[in-house]
Structure 1
Amino acid sequence: MTHVLILEDDKASMEALGKILTEYSEEICVHAASSYPEAKELLDGDIRFGLFLLDVNLGGENREDIGGILFAREIREKFCYTFTPVVMVTSVGAMEMQAYRELHCYQYIMKPFRPEQVIEVVRKVLDRDKQEEPPSVVVKRDGVNYQVRCEEIRYIEAVHRGIRLHMKGETWDVPYVTLKQILLKVPGEMFLQCHRIFAVNRREVEYYDTVNRIVKLKDCADVIEIGVTYKAEIGRIVSGKLG
């Protein structure tokens, strides 16, 4: 199920968009807001949205209003929506350029919109969601959000005031994120914590040495320690009784 948030102050346009979406697919659940505060309340709720359709102008006849763009900024400030498709709905052509440059919008729809135009945009989003992409994690580095493919990470190390991603070919320091927090964002079946400051990518492990308490990684000279409290669990993995 894909949850879609529509922000549109014109009732007729909102109902038309909602009707187009729900008639196109039973896998779409529409959530509508007619104002910035209503949309903000939905955004801060428990629903995880897969698409946003935002009217640029929420001020009726006031063409100076850019409430939709302000809300798009609010969306992009949330870590989990860094790459979620945002589609602007506008009758003012100059507006879409600002949205594209500043907010990395997926596409825009010009008013008066045509049903086939809306369906084409939604179809692309749904197809995008269905594609099986390698797992990835979003991290902030030097003030910029990056999407890192998990398969590129050999192991993760907790460092002072952050973590260090040891990847194939380079190392990234990511501040203000704990090892515990990053492990909640990566696939649990892919990464294994073996020490209070280390977690390894299981696919990169050559072997576990529980006697000397180290993990040997493929094509990597780094020594990853196995903590005393993690030794028993690693032992069960080695014996094939776990993982």
Structure 2
Amino acid sequence: MVHVLLLEDDQNSREALEKMLIDYSEEIRVHTASSYPEAKNLLKSDIRYGLFLLDVNLGGENREDIGGILFAREVREQFRYTFTPIVMVTAIGAMEMQAYRELHCYQYIMKPFCQEQVQEVVRKVLDKEKQEDPPVIHVKKDGVNYQVKCDNIRYIEAIPRGIRIHMKNGDWDIPYISLKQILTKIPEDMFLQCHRMFVVNRREVEYFDMVNRVIKLKDCTDVVEIGVTYKSEIGRIVSD
């Protein structure tokens, strides 16, 4: 399921875009906002959006309004949306260029838009989601954004003011992100939280020692503790 945040102040345009998106695929769930404040509230939710479709101008006849661009800036300031596709809807060519330079937009749609144009953009996003490339997570280290292959991660540990990613080729300390936040970025079927301080890559597990409440990892000396509150859940996984 791909969640789309649609920001459009004109009701007719908003409803038309929403219908185009829903008609295209059952895999799409659209969340609509008619104003900048409404969009900000949607952004605060626990939903992980896979596409932002934003009208540049939210001021009706006021062509100086750039509420969509201001919101796009807020989106890009959130770590988890560093690389998420943003598509701008605009009738103003200059705004399009500004959005591309500043916000690394995925694409733009010029008004008046047509169904084929909108759905072609969505198709590209959905195709990207379905790619069978090895899953990756995006992390920021020393002010630089990196892609980390999930296959290279053994386990993730919570540390003061951040996390430590234990990888096959070394460890990375990533500040200003919690274990709870990183759990929203990694594939649920690939990683398992076994302790309030640890998340382990299932594919890297050599065996579960339920007596001593530890997990032995492959090809290394590390063991990861199983927390008391997680013991019963992991026990069910082991018995399956």
- TM-score over 0.5 (shorter chain): yes
> Counterpart in 2 of 1:224?
222
Cα drift, residue 120 of structure 1: 0.8
Are the aligned partners of 2:162 and 2:173 in contact in 1 as well (CA < 8 Å)?
Answer: yes
Cα drift, residue 184 of structure 1: 6.2
Q: Does 1:92 align with 2:88?
A: no
Cα drift, residue 174 of structure 1: 0.6
> Counterpart in 1 of 2:151?
151
Segment of structure 1 superposing worse, 62-71 or 136-145 = 136-145
> Counterpart in 2 of 1:71?
71
Mapped partners of 2:65, 2:208: distance in 1: 60
> Counterpart in 2 of 1:129?
129
In structure 2, the residue corresponding to 1:52 is in which secondary structure?
Answer: strand
Are the aligned partners of 1:198 and 1:224 in contact in 2 as well (CA < 8 Å)?
Answer: no
Amino acid at match of 1:89: V
- Identity percentage over the alignment? 71
Cα drift, residue 153 of structure 1: 1.2
What whole-Å deviation, never above 9, does each CA across 1:100-139 have from its counterpart, x for those lacking one?
2322211111122232111211111222233344333333
Are the aligned partners of 2:80 and 2:185 in contact in 1 as well (CA < 8 Å)?
Answer: no
In structure 2, the residue corresponding to 1:62 is in which secondary structure?
Answer: coil
Q: Count residues in correspondence.
A: 237
Are residues 167 and 90 of structure 1, via their aligned partners in 2, closer, same or farther at CA, if it must alter by over 3 Å?
Answer: same
Are the aligned partners of 2:216 and 2:223 in contact in 1 as well (CA < 8 Å)?
Answer: no
- What runs of 5+ residues in structure 2 fail to find an aligned partner? none
Segment of structure 1 superposing worse, 49-58 or 185-194 = 185-194
Mapped partners of 1:15, 1:8: distance in 2: 9
Mapped partners of 2:97, 2:144: distance in 1: 21
What whole-Å deviation, never above 9, does each CA across 1:49-99 have from its counterpart, x for those lacking one?
332211111223333221101111222233443333210011222222222
Cα drift, residue 13 of structure 1: 2.6
Are residues 33 and 41 of structure 1, via their aligned partners in 2, closer, same or farther at CA, if it must alter by over 3 Å?
Answer: same
- What runs of 5+ residues in structure 1 fail to find an aligned partner? none
- Considering only aligned residues, what root-mean-square deviation do their CA atoms show, in Å? 3.7
- For normalisation by structure 2, the TM-score amounts to 0.75
Cα drift, residue 35 of structure 1: 1.7
What whole-Å deviation, never above 9, does each CA across 1:157-198 have from its counterpart, x for those lacking one?
444433222323343211134456545653455446678866
Amino acid at match of 1:100: Y
Are residues 23 and 142 of structure 1, via their aligned partners in 2, closer, same or farther at CA, if it must alter by over 3 Å?
Answer: same
Cα drift, residue 144 of structure 1: 4.2
Segment of structure 1 superposing worse, 150-159 or 202-211 = 202-211
Which structure has the larger Rg?
1
> Counterpart in 1 of 2:107?
107
Mapped partners of 1:185, 1:62: distance in 2: 38
Are residues 46 and 208 of structure 1, via their aligned partners in 2, closer, same or farther at CA, if it must alter by over 3 Å?
Answer: closer
Cα drift, residue 8 of structure 1: 1.9
Mapped partners of 2:78, 2:172: distance in 1: 22
Segment of structure 1 superposing worse, 201-210 or 30-39 = 201-210
Are residues 73 and 201 of structure 1, via their aligned partners in 2, closer, same or farther at CA, if it must alter by over 3 Å?
Answer: same
Amino acid at match of 1:105: C
Are residues 96 and 202 of structure 1, via their aligned partners in 2, closer, same or farther at CA, if it must alter by over 3 Å?
Answer: same
Mapped partners of 2:37, 2:197: distance in 1: 42
Are the aligned partners of 1:90 and 1:111 in contact in 2 as well (CA < 8 Å)?
Answer: yes
Mapped partners of 1:95, 1:16: distance in 2: 22
> Counterpart in 1 of 2:167?
167
Are the aligned partners of 1:196 and 1:227 in contact in 2 as well (CA < 8 Å)?
Answer: no
